[in-house]
Amino acid sequence: MIRKLCVIGAGTMGAGIAQVAAENGINVVIRDVETAFVERGIGTIRNFIGKKLEKGKISQDVHDQIVGRVRGTTSPEEGFAGVDMVVEAVFESLELKQKIFAEADRLCKPSVILSSNTSTMSITKIASATSHPERVIGTHFFSPVPVMRLVEVIRGEKTTEAVVSSAVEFCKTIGKTAILCKDVPGFIVNRFLCLLYNEAANQIHQGMATAQDIDLGLKLGSNHPMGPVEIMDLAGVDVVYNALKALHEMTGEERYRPSPLFAEMVRENRLGRKTGRGFYTYEA
Ligand SMILES: NC(=O)c1ccc[n+]([C@@H]2O[C@H](COP(=O)([O-])OP(=O)(O)OC[C@H]3O[C@@H](n4cnc5c(N)ncnc54)[C@H](O)[C@@H]3O)[C@@H](O)[C@H]2O)c1
């Protein structure tokens, strides 16, 4: 059972993972490289929980308990002290992740589960930086973490059955549903999503359909809550482009070759909502 968790990386995903863990009774230490980053992550959590209190969704008591379960640090030793599990959510770089896993492997006792939130990296490759690859696993959360219900649990080549079961149990404890994935590029969900986004961009690029019609088509004809083009603008056209490039490179499969429209849009800084213009145009 996971009672104490260390989350490495206090960014978008790390703060979200720390929040859902704390909300479900787990003590969390968030570690980042600078105190300002740690504080920003903890600030995001306090903000979310504070809104729940304001809206009357939780009592002052529950609010204080959740907030009290989250601590921050920049020290590896302090971050790992007494934890049952480590979830890494730093930048998507194999070199950085391997460095962090090697350090966690050195500083944590062998029973501690070491997990990565990577979207694209091989868990087996990350685990190869440790001397206990059997305790390394992938737990791929979706953004925004407090809202999205799924976690993809990825078994590396040497991950033990016991570690897989503990990770699935951990997901259940924090209110998520786990699905088991092979250590293949894009795991399960992103392999589908990237195809959908690429098809939408190709249809627009080739003049086969408008962004509006694609979004309406999938919302009304297939009950998607949001259209794929709207989602690309929200996530960032550059982010989707990079994900496709990575999948194409890793799989070598033609179907993941990014539509030429992505490179064009990135060149023109049409990155979606964040730059005011993507597939759609947004008011300032
Ligand atoms: N953002 C998403 O939608 C999403 C979804 C699923 C998975 N992911 C994956 O989650 C991971 C994190 O993504 P994010 O969007 O939260 O990134 P982010 O840029 O918001 O946050 C990363 C954080 O890691 C910190 N960091 C960097 N090096 C560190 C180190 N050595 N020690 C401690 N902290 C360090 C950074 O300072 C930063 O605060 C990536 O692997 C990404 O691929 C992201």
- CATH number for the domain spanning 260: value is 1.10.1040.10
Q: What is the CB < 6 Å shell around ligand 1?
A: 8-14, 31-33, 37, 89-92, 96, 100, 117-119, 140-141, 143
User: Can you give the pTM of this predicted structure?
Assistant: 0.94
Residues 165 and 66 in one domain: yes
On whether residue 16 sits in a domain, the answer given is yes
Where among 181, 202, 218 does a domain terminate? 181
**Are 25 and 113 within one domain?**
yes
Provide the residue type at 246 as one letter.
Answer: A
Q: Which of 120, 108, 128 is nearest to 154 (CA)?
A: 120
CATH of the domain at 85: 3.40.50.720
> Mind listing the pLDDT tens digit of every residue in the chain (284 residues)?
999 999 999 999 999 999 999 999 999 999 999 999 999 999 999 999 999 999 999 999 999 999 999 999 999 999 999 999 999 999 999 999 999 999 999 999 999 999 999 998 999 999 999 999 999 999 999 999 999 999 999 999 999 999 999 999 999 999 999 999 999 999 999 999 999 999 999 999 999 999 999 999 999 999 999 999 999 999 999 999 999 999 999 999 999 999 999 999 999 999 999 999 999 999 87
Is 281 a member of any domain? Answer: no
Residue 244 near residue 197, CB atoms below 8 Å: yes
Residues 10 and 141 in one domain: yes
Verify whether residue 140 is a known catalytic residue.
yes
Find the 30 Cα to ligand 1 centroid distance in Å: 12
Q: Does the annotation count 122 as an active-site position? A: no
| DSSP secondary structure, 243-270, as one string | HHHHHHHHH--GGGSPPHHHHHHHHTT-
pLDDT given at position 64: 98
Residue 108 DSSP label: S
Of 88, 115, 117, 140, catalytic: 140
Of the three residues 181, 200, 226, the one that is the final residue of a domain is 181
| Per-residue pLDDT at 284 | 74
Please say if 248 is a catalytic residue: no
CA proximity to 99, closest of 8, 233, 4: 8
Distance CA 184, CA 125 (A): 12
Contacts of residue 238, defined as CB under 8 A and 6 or more positions apart, other chains included, come to 266, 271
Query: How far apart, in whole angstroms, are the C-alpha atoms of residue 142 and residue 144?
Result: 6
- pLDDT of amino acid 111: 96
119 catalytically annotated = yes
The pLDDT value given to residue 11: 95
Q: What percent of the chain has pLDDT over 90?
A: 99
Domain region containing 170: 4-181
| 244 dihedral zone (left: phi>0; alpha: psi -120 to 50; beta) | alpha
Last residue of a domain, one of 131, 148, 181: 181
> Is residue 211 a contact partner of residue 279, using CB atoms and an 8 Å limit?
yes
Pair (47, 170) in one structural domain = yes
Ligand 1 atom closest to residue 141's alpha carbon, by position in its atom list: 6
Centre of ligand 1 from the C-alpha of residue 14, in Å? 7
Instruction: Report the distance separating Cα 170 and Cα 220, nearest Å.
Output: 36
